[in-house]
A and B are shown apart, each in its own frame.
Chain A
Amino acid sequence: MLSISNLHVRAGDRQILNGLSLEVGAGEVHAIMGPNGSGKSTLAQVLAGREGYEVTEGSVSYRGKDLLALPPEERAREGVFLAFQYPVEIPGVNNVYLLKAGLNAVRKHRGEPEVDAFEFLALIREKMKLMQMDESFLSRGVNEGFSGGEKKRNEILQMSVLEPSLAMLDETDSGLDIDALRVVADGVNSLRNPERAIVLVTHYQRLLDYIEPDRVHVLSGGRILKSGDKSLALELEKRGYDWVKQEAAAA
C-alpha cells in the first residue's frame, strides 16, 4: 500500500529525513518510535502534504501513485488520513460542517453520491457514541475550546467517518489519561481491517498495549535504524534508544 524509498527531507537548511525507507502493506499496523527530534512528525506531515518541507531525494508510492505529487486534499480523497499531534482550533467552522464537507469530497472522488444531511447525522451520532463524545460537539466550532483529550478523540472520530485506507496517527496518545487512551484505542481498533493500513507515530510504548502493532520501527537521525515485531517496543521501553543507535553505528 505504502512504499517509501530513500526519502530525504529538508526544512529550511535543516536536514530532517536522511534516506528513510519503509514498506507498509494493507491490513498491517506499524508503529514508528524514536526519540524527540528524530523526524517522526516530519514523516507524518510530509506524507499528508504539509507545505514547508523540501523533498531532496527519494520517493513515496501509495497504491501505485506518486504520493508526493498530489496536493493534500487529493491525498485525503485517495484515502490518506493524518490524525494531528496538535489538532487545530477553527472557531466559526462547525465540526459537523467540516466532517460532512470532507466526507462528501471523498465520496465524490470515488464516484459515490453525496450523503444527505439526515443520513449524515445518523452516521455521525453512531460514531460519536463510539468515541464517547458529548452531544454539544455537534454545534461547536472545529476543536473550539476542546480539552486535549477531546481534540484527540475528535481526530479519531474524523478518521472513522472518512474511513481512510492509510491512517497515520501522530502522537495521538500524548496528553491522554488512561480512560481517554482506551477510548481512542478502541476507536482505532474498530477501524482495523484487511484493507486498511495504520501507522502509529508514538513516543511511548503505552499506546501499543492497546493497539497491537504488526511491525515496530525505530526512527532516529532521520532514518529507520531497526525494525522488529511488537517485542521490540517492549525492549525499547526497558532499554531506551541508545543501544539501537550504537548498534546501527557499529554496523
Chain B
Amino acid sequence: MSAATAGTLSPKLERYRELFEKRFASDALIEHRRDAFNQFIQAGFPTPRDEAWKYTNLRRLESRDFAVAESAPVGIDPGQHPWISCTANRLVFINGHWSPALSSMMPQPPGATVLSLGEWLKHEPERAQAYLSNSPSAQTVFERLNAAFAEDGVVIDLAADAMFDEPVHVVHLWTAGLQSSMSHPRIIVRAGRNSRLTLIEQYLGLGDSALGCSEVFTNSVVGVELQNGAQMEHYRLQQEGSRTFHIGQISVRAQEHARYAIHDLAFGGLLSRLNLTIQLQGSGSHAELKGLFTPDNSQHIDTQTRIEHIAPHTTSEEDYRGIAEGRGRGVFNGKVFVHQGAQKTDARQSSRNLLLSPTAEIDTKPELEIYANDVKCSHGATTGQLDTTALFYLRSRGISENDARTMLIQAFAQSIVSSIRSPEVRGYVETLLKGRFSLRQVNP
C-alpha cells in the first residue's frame, strides 16, 4: 500500500489531498473524514481493469481539477422553473449547498423529520456523525470520497407508522458559469416500522449551453434503511448538464415485508454511473426497479444494479430500458444474487434496449448467481432497432416518418413511464420525453 504514503501519491490524488486538508483541517469531524479519505487514496480511481468498470473509463474524470463547490446566488423562481414545480416538500441544493430560500416544507407530520445534513453537521456535529456512523460503512471508492467530502444533504427519519402525505423532493442544482467544481451530497433515509415515504431525487444543471455550462462532478450517496413493513417509493431523475460527471450510489436495506420501488431515470450528464444495491434482508421484502436511460451525442450512461436476496420469500422485479442515439453509449449490468438461505426467492429481470443510430451502443449484461435450490429466477435482454414493419404500418395510416419514429420510441419508453405512480412525476417525465424525442429529424 505504498500509495497511502504521501510521497508517492499521483499528482491527481495529491491534488485531492490538498483540497481535503485545506477544506477540513479544522472540521469537527476531521478524524472520521480522514479515515474515509485515506481509504479513498489507498484505492485510487477504478480503472477498466476492474470488472465493475470494464465499460466505463474514468480517465477523463480523474484528469480534471475540481474545486470544492460553493453555493452561488440564483435568481430563479421555483414555481416557474420546469421542475416538478408543485411539490410541497422541497429541499433545493445549489452546487451541493442547501438553499433555504428556494426550499419549502410543509409542517412535518408526527414522527417524521426532514432536515438539511449541512445544518445538522454545523450545529450538532457529534450527534450527526453518530447518526451517520450508524449507517452501513462506505464500500466503494466513491462512497469513501463522499464520506470524506460530504458537506450537505438530507436526513429523513420516520418513526414507526409515520408517513408523509406529499413526496419529499430533493433538487440538486448546478449553477452556470462556475469554475470546475465537485459536490458530494448525501441522502439518508431511516424508515421505521410500517412507515411510508415517497422521495424524488432530482439532479439538474442550469444554463446548459456550450458557454454557460461548467465541468462539474456530482458524487452522490443515498442510504436507505427500511424497517419491517416500511414502504418507500423512490424517483431518481438525473438530468444534469452535458459537461457533468455524475457518480451515484444507492444502498438499500429492507427488513421483513418492507417494499422498495425505484424509477431510475437517467437522461443527462457527460459521463454518468449509478450503483444501485438492494439487500432484501427480511423475509417477504420486495424490490421493484424500473429504469430508463437515454444516452445521446457522446453521453455515457452506466447503470449497475445488484439485488441481494438474503432472506427467504423475497421478491424482486426489474425492468430497465435504454434508448441510445448519436454516439451515445449505455451500459446496464443487472446482478441478482440469491443467498443460500433465500428459499422461495422470486426474481425477475428484463433489459430491453433500442439503438437509434449505427454509432450508438448499449452493453447489457444480466447476471444471476444462485445459491439456494428452491427459487424462481428469470432474466432476458434484447437490443435492437426500431421495428421497420411497425414503422411502415404507422406511415401507411398517414403518419409522417418522423412522427412514426417518435411514436415508436415513446411507446418503447412507455412501459417504464406509465408505471410511475406519482401523477406529478409521470406528467413531468412524459413532457420531458416528448421534448426529447420529437421535433427533431432522427436519421439512422
Contacts and interface: CB of A to CB of B under 8 A. Distances in A.
Interface of A: 48-51, 71-73, 75-77, 81-82, 84, 87-88, 90-93, 98-99, 101-103, 105-106, 109, 141-142, 158, 162
B390 A72 contact: no
Given A72-B392, A101-B403, A90 B411 contact: yes
A91 B417 CA distance: 13
B388 interface: yes
A88 B415 CA distance: 18
Contacts of B403: 101
Contacts of B393: 84, 87-88, 90, 142
A158 B408 contact: no
Contacts of A72: 392, 395-396
A71 B395 contact: yes
Contacts of B414: 91-92
A204 to B, nearest CB: 24
A88 B396 CA distance: 12
Contacts of A101: 397-399, 403, 407
A71 B404 CA distance: 13
Contact of A73 (B387, B388, B395): B395
A158 B401 contact: no
A50 B395 CA distance: 10
B443 interface: no
Contact of B408 (A48, A84, A90): A90
Given A48-B396, A82-B396, A91 B415 contact: yes
What's the dominant secondary structure at chain B's contact region? helix
A112 to B, nearest CB: 13
A93 B411 contact: yes
A172 to B, nearest CB: 15
> How many of chain B's residues touch chain A, expressed as a range?
20 to 34
Q: Which 3 A-B pairs have the closest CB atoms?
A: A92-B411, A102-B397, A105-B398
A50 B392 contact: yes
B410 interface: yes
B67 to A, nearest CB: 45
Contact of B395 (A76, A92, A109, A162): A76
B396 A77 contact: no
A185 B408 CA distance: 31
A76 B407 CA distance: 18
Contacts of A141: 411
A192 to B, nearest CB: 21
Given A90-B408, A93-B411, 4 more contacts: A48-B392, A76-B397, A76-B398, A90-B411
Interface in B364-417: 387-390, 392-401, 403-404, 407-408, 410-415
Interface in B275-316: none
A90 B415 contact: no
Given A50-B392, A87-B393, A93 B408 contact: yes
B416 to A, nearest CB: 10
Contact of B397 (A71, A91, A92, A162): A162
Contact of A98 (B392, B397, B400): B397
Contact of A91 (B388, B399, B411): B411
Nearest to A141: B411
Given A50-B392, A51-B388, A162 B398 contact: yes
Q: Which of B388, B393, B397, B413 has its CB near the most chain A CB atoms (within 10 A)? A: B397
